[in-house]
Amino acid sequence: MPALPKKIMVVGLGNPGKKYEFTRHNLGFRVLDRLREQIGMPTWQLQKALAAEVSEARIGGVQVVLLKPLTYMNLSGKSVKAALKQYGMRVSNLHVVHDDKDVMLANLKVKSGSSAAGHKGVASLIEELGSKNFNRYRMGIMAPSAEGVETEKYVVSKFLPDEEPAIRNAIDQTTDTIIADLGLGR
Q: Which residues are catalytic?
A: 25
Closest CA to 94 of 126, 131, 134, 54: 134
CA distance 144 to 29: 24
- CA distance readout (Å), 177 to 60, 91, 109, 142: 18, 20, 11, 21
Closest CA to 31 of 158, 166, 151, 178: 178
Backbone angles phi, psi at 79, to 5 degrees: -65, -45
Backbone angles phi, psi at 118, to 5 degrees: 90, -5
